[in-house]
Amino acid sequence: MIKYNELLIDEDSKTMQLFKGLSVEEDHLLTKRVDALIRQGKNIRMQVIAIDKEEGNLYIEGYTLVEDLLDNL
């Protein structure tokens, strides 16, 4: 079974959230939710993380890793 790791990035707050081990269905649901937020004008983007990264090792300069990004959008 394919599992997806997605990184959601909020450009306004410079925060990001890592979603690990998503099933195909979970990935589609997340994509639909993010698409709806983008259509509402949120300055967010999502990208696939191809390799399995530990959350503590995920680092993009200028961004903070958070657990509840979707809850705050």
Task: For residue range 61-70, list pLDDT tens digits in order.
Answer: 788 888 888 8
Task: Give pLDDT, residue 54.
Answer: 56
- Reading the chain (73 residues) residue by residue, the pLDDT tens digits are 778 888 999 999 999 999 988 999 999 999 999 999 999 999 999 988 765 555 556 667 788 888 888 888 7
Q: Across the chain, how many H-helices and E-strands are there?
A: 1, 4
> What is the model's pTM?
0.79
Task: Give pLDDT, residue 11.
Answer: 95
CB 21, CB 3: distance < 8 Å: yes
- The 3-state DSSP composition of the chain as helix, strand, coil percent (nearest 5) reads 30, 30, 40
